[in-house]
Amino acid sequence: MKYLWRFSIVLVVLCSVAFGNLLKNGGLEGGIPSYFHFGGTSGTAQMVWATDEWRTGGRSLKIDKPNADGTAYWESDDIYRYWSVFVNPNVSMEVGAWVKTVNVNTNPANDNEKIQVIYNFYSSDGVNLLGEPLVLDVPQDVASSDGWVEVKSSEPLAFPVTVDSITVRFQFGSNATGVAYVEDFFIRNAVEGEWVGDFFNPNVDVPEGWFYWWMDFPKGLAEWDDDIPVFAGVTDEVSHSGEYSLKIVEDDDENDEVVVNTDPVSFENDGSPLVFSVWMKAELPEGMSDSANTNNSYGVGFTVTWHDGSCGADGWGEVGGTDYRFVLPSDTTDWLQYTVVMTPPEDATQFSLRARYWNFFKGTTYWDDFAASKMILTAIDEDGEAPISVADDYKLLRAFPNPFNPTATIQFAVPHDSRVRVVIYDFMGRKVKELVNRSLVKGNYLVNWDATDERGRKVSTGVYLVVLEGRDFRSTYKITLLK
């Protein structure tokens, strides 16, 4: 699909960023997983978004309840949302979760002594379609389970009407005690070829404001005990700022993508451009950066999607979107910031930002300090209607920030597969550094300049020229380095 909207090429100084970061949690901080909360009447239970035990993605939900002094639970909001708007009538599904127990009470005599996974299925008018919760008892025949145990519905479920929303609760009864972990809440089609949609954050691996997609992520497959296909979750291993960052790992050669997405964010669309940025650190297998820079299917970067907000959490409402692939300087990089400036389409009331591995990209990356800010321009020169997502000509769109210190991100578009050069010159026309000189496939790209020359020496303050050269094309853009 080809999206058209108005965009502006900035010819003079960008005055300021007007409203700070519009993202709710761009640094992936916080101690609660997205779409989940906890509660209960116990005064001694500890509710933890845990890292000491997990099955996929580095996190699980933990209840540590030493006393028989009331209930304790983790509970979801509606985890059936966005593009999974509803389950069609008569579509068969299995639901459940994976649980690990440690020193829990055994052989419970009643519900008060049980640990349970509890699902509710609702129609659009809030009616519980089963008339009561679907209760799945966690095995308590032994105090500690031998690893993770699958807990699921005994028979496939199908409803004669549309299922509009689904919630799940992991609960200790008032007299249940011990420690238990849960993750990989799942929904699976029980009939080959039927689509049951996706749960959101079912592996409980990202914090408030985020969700993800990777192949089969809502299915809670048994083979993940030994072979986790993807790691996509928050980590405290490294960070650009704060305590946490997003870690993505994929090492297989399967033809699939990994994306970690913000929830759609509402904003006042007055036609002002928005600045989107992220810091990323990479640890890749040998040669992957070359593949990423020369083949779209091996790319890494982010996608900005525009939404009209017409459906809330029960719909996607997409009205435009653009992919940006990062030009990687090497297989291993320290933290680098990538920035792009975009003007929203007129009917957009929301946006979302997506960290993305395209089909064959693999390796480990860390992402932090995602930001989206409204920008005021002192002057602009409008270029009229132009496609951003599908380039019709070479375009040196802009650099940001400008003026800059210490790093500028240069945004350019390539209309067809061809050899491209991006070179920095000083104002006297002397070559300072060649940033790109390779064959690139059609697409939109971001490349950083860290204000160094070919030998890695810091250059002096002043005005520099960014030159984009393609087949029968040359464009120049001025940027200013400040100290």
* Domain spanning 36-194: CATH 3.20.20.150: no
Name the burial class of residue 152, with classes exposed (0-12), middle (13-18) and buried (19+) by CB atoms within 10 angstroms of its CB.
middle
DSSP, residue by residue, 368-410: EEEEEEEEEES--EEEEEEESSS-SS-EEEEEESSSBSS-EEE
pLDDT band at 305 (very low <50, low <70, confident <90, very high): very high
Calculate mean pLDDT across residues 455-478: 90
Q: Which of 13-17, 44-48, 313-317, 352-356 has the lowest mean pLDDT?
A: 13-17
**Residue 95 has what pLDDT?**
97
Q: According to the model, what pLDDT value does residue 392 have?
A: 59
Min mean pLDDT across 16-25, 231-240, 243-252, 353-362 is at 16-25
3-state SS, residue 290: helix
- Does the domain at 391-483 match CATH 2.60.40.4070? Answer given as yes
Q: What is the mean pLDDT of the chain?
A: 89
Q: What is the per-residue pLDDT across 113-172, written as a single tens digit (0 to 9) for each? A: 999 999 999 998 999 999 999 999 999 999 999 999 999 999 999 999 999 999 999 999
* Residue 406 preceded by cis peptide, ω within 30: yes
Asked if the model's pLDDT at residue 291 lies above 90, the reply is yes
**pLDDT computed for residue 262 by the predictor:** 96
Tell me which of 181-195, 275-289, 299-313 is least confident. Answer: 299-313
Is 90 exceeded by the pLDDT of residue 474?
A: no
Q: Which has more confidence, 305 or 382?
A: 305
Give me the residue label for tokens 């480990």: 364
Cβ partners under 8 Å of residue 456, min gap 6: none
Q: What pLDDT sits at residue 168?
A: 98
The residue ranking higher by pLDDT, 233 or 339, is: 233
Q: What percent of the chain has pLDDT over 90?
A: 69
Average pLDDT over every residue of 320-348: 92
pLDDT of residue 376: 52
Tell me how far apart the alpha carbons of residues 188 and 410 are, in angstroms, rounded to a whole number: 44
CA distance 34 to 251: 26
Rounded mean pLDDT of 305-329?
Answer: 88
Residue 336 has pLDDT above 50, yes or no: yes
Q: What burial class does residue 141 get, using C-beta atoms within 10 Å of its C-beta: 0-12 exposed, 13-18 middle, 19+ buried?
A: exposed
* pLDDT of the residue at 227: 86
pLDDT score at 17? 39
Q: What's the rounded Cα separation, in Å, for the pair 289 and 252?
A: 16
DSSP 305-369: EEE--SSTTS---EEEEEEEEE--SSSEEEEEEEEEEE---TT--EEEEEEEE-TT--EEEEEEE
Better-scored residue on pLDDT, 406 or 335? 335
What is the tens place of the pLDDT at every residue in 87-127? 889 999 999 999 999 999 999 999 999 999 999 999 989 99
Residues in contact with 344: Cβ distance below 8 Å, sequence separation at least 6, in sequence order: 5, 267, 269, 271, 274, 306, 320, 351
**CATH class of the structural domain 1-32+206-389:** mainly beta
pLDDT-derived band at 323, boundaries 50, 70, 90: very high
The pLDDT value given to residue 378: 37
Summarize pLDDT for 453-465 with one digit per residue, the tens: 998 899 999 999 9
**Do 218 and 94 meet the contact criterion of CB atoms below 8 Å apart?**
no
CA distance 400 to 151: 51
Q: Is the pTM of this model over 0.85?
A: no
Does the fold of domain 36-194 match that of domain 1-32+206-389?
Answer: yes
Q: How does strand 381-387 pair with strand 363-377?
A: unpaired
Query: What's the pLDDT band for 73 if we cut at 50, 70, 90?
Result: very high
The average pLDDT across 193-211 equals 94
Per-domain boundaries in the chain? 1-32+206-389, 36-194, 391-483
Contacts of 210 (CB under 8 A, 6+ apart): 25, 28, 34, 201, 246, 260, 261, 262, 263
Q: Report which of residues 282 and 482 the model is more confident about.
A: 282
Residue 19 has pLDDT above 60, yes or no: no
Q: What CA–CA distance (Å, rounded) separates 283 from 334? A: 9
- pLDDT at residue 396, as a whole number: 75
Residues 396, 304, 324, 448, Cα dihedral to 10°: 70
pLDDT band at 9 (very low <50, low <70, confident <90, very high): very low
Predicted local confidence at residue 55, as pLDDT: 95
Chain centroid offset of residue 183 CA: 19
Looking at residue 429, its pLDDT comes to: 86
Locate 158 and state its tokens.
């199908």
Among the residue ranges 234-243, 385-394, 420-429, the one predicted with the least confidence is: 385-394
Which residue bears the tokens 């009939």? 191
pLDDT at 383 over 60: no
Q: What percent of the chain has pLDDT over 70?
A: 92
**Confidence category of residue 413, pLDDT binned at 50, 70, 90:** confident
> Is residue 382 scored above 70 in pLDDT?
no
pLDDT, mean of residues 80-89 = 86
